[in-house]
Amino acid sequence: MSSTAEGPVSTLRPMTASEYADWVEQSITGYAADKVTSGQRTPEESLGLTRKEFAGLLPLGLETPGNHLFSVIDSQGVAVGVLWFGVKKRFGADIAYVFDVSIRPERQREGHAARAFRALEDEVRRLGLAGIALHVFGHNDAARALYDKLGFRPTNISLFKTIDPPRA
For 9, 52, 71, 101, 111, the CA distances from 56, given in Å and listed in that order, are: 34, 6, 22, 19, 32
Average pLDDT over residues 97-104: 95
Per-residue confidence band for 6, with pLDDT thresholds at 50, 70 and 90: low
Residue 74's CB: how many other CB atoms inside 10 A?
21
Cα separation values, 155 from 39, 49, 116, 132, 136, Å = 21, 26, 22, 12, 12
Q: Are 147 and 104 in contact (CB under 8 A)?
A: no
SS3 label, residue 35: helix
State pTM to two decimals: 0.86
Q: Enumerate residues 6+ apart whose C-beta is below 8 A from 129.
A: 87, 93, 94, 95, 96
Cβ distance 145 to 44 under 8 Å? no
Please state the rounded mean pLDDT for residues 137-163.
86
Task: Give me the chain's average pLDDT, please.
Answer: 91
pLDDT digits (tens, 9 = 90+) for 43-87: 999 999 999 999 999 999 999 999 999 999 999 999 999 999 999
Percentage of the chain lying above the pLDDT 90 cut: 75
pLDDT at 59: 98
> Is 90 in contact with 129 (CB distance < 8 Å)?
no
